[in-house]
A = this chain, B = another copy of it.
């Protein structure tokens, strides 16, 4: 069984390590040994921690197109349209593709799946969502007796690390961001993480699979954590509320509501105890009810666990009719119609606010008051929320949804 690997960064090296470390188990399950035959990288001279002797190492992708002995391709190099085009070439030849590339997949998965299906190839991408957690497999197989109505997850380790440090240790946002950069969780330009865009790609892939609908990523609203203030976290903490950046989506006859935003969760919520760089995904099915899947969201070997399991599973199923989920319909994305509770900090004193909120028939309790007033509302409907946001006499300094009844 010959394997080509595109990209040899942290995850690529992790794949090589895991294939070696667990060689005997993997060969047993696959019925044959895996040989890494080709590795494609940008820089063939770079020093790497893994032994690539006997591997055809190349920086020319056409070397791989020409090879007729590749059975599966693992793509862990990133990139958008170029990478899509490369993967299409392999799928067109009926070669299975395993990708960890959430950025590209969130945009082009439907296109790639179509090519895969036309050529009886499998396209698997477990590692692209929540790292080592086998959440796509759980949705596609373990929970497939269910219609799924809700998915909610802590899908980005960097932001979860930052929010955990702010919540547990009272660090401000800048200090927590700096440490996560020093530790290698966050990149020099952290926009993708702290802006919520990484989580956005993952909730798109999760929602597509859970609801069997195409999801247009450009329709998914995103709020990052870059404007989160420590004082709001601390005020809410006293009330037993923990701030988490969540990707969440709900699906029903009316359509799909989906977004990424920082949300306050009750401290006894399963997702609240998911700290630091860990990830977790909550799935609600109409038979099973509430389930949650927890584990590492990143890391070389951790992510490679998902990549290599994909490899084993696609190989064990080779030769039978392939099942790549191919949604026929596109989800109609709509604002949430549910009534939610909100944590709101107004630029107003409590007395003035009282009449204002009474006039809008909004019930609330005050958490903190002074020149600004922080409240938690009872569940309010989207109209009331809109009125609150639009009143220019009562500016909202900060607003977060609060999960729970």
A residues lining the B interface (CB < 8 Å): 14, 18, 21-22, 25-26, 29, 126, 132-134, 137-138, 141-147, 212, 268, 270, 272-275, 285-296, 299, 301-302, 304-309, 311-313, 316-317, 319-320, 323
Contacts and interface: CB of A to CB of B under 8 A. Distances in A.
B288 A295 contact: yes
Nearest to A319: B320
A305 B273 contact: no
Contacts of A25: 144, 147, 212
Contacts of A275: 268
Contacts of A270: 273-274, 294
Contact of A145 (B26, B274, B288): B26
B296 A294 contact: no
16 contacts: A21-B287, A29-B144, A29-B323, A133-B291, A134-B142, A141-B309, A142-B142, A143-B309, A145-B306, A145-B308, A272-B273, A287-B301, A287-B308, A289-B299, A292-B293, A292-B294
Nearest to A294: B292
Nearest to A133: B291
A144 B295 contact: no
B295 A291 contact: yes
B305 A288 contact: yes
A295 B296 contact: no
Contacts of A305: 143, 145-146, 285, 287-288
A99 to B, nearest CB: 16
Contacts of A317: 317, 320
A162 to B, nearest CB: 18
Given A270-B294, A273-B270, A291-B294, A142 B22 contact: no
Most B CB contacts (10 A, CB to CB) among A21, A132, A142, A272 go to: A142
Most chain B CB within 10 A, of A268, A270, A275, A287, is at A287
Contact of A18 (B21, B145, B290): B145
A289 B291 CA distance: 20
A259 B274 CA distance: 27
A241 to B, nearest CB: 15
A316 B323 contact: yes
B137 A142 contact: yes
Contacts of A309: 141-145
A378 to B, nearest CB: 25
Contacts of A141: 134, 137, 141, 309, 313
Contact of A287 (B143, B268, B304): B304
B147 A22 contact: yes
Best-buried of A302, A306, A309, A311 by chain B (most CB within 10 Å): A309
Contacts of A212: 25
A298 B69 CA distance: 49
A288 to B, nearest CB: 4
Contacts of A302: 287-289
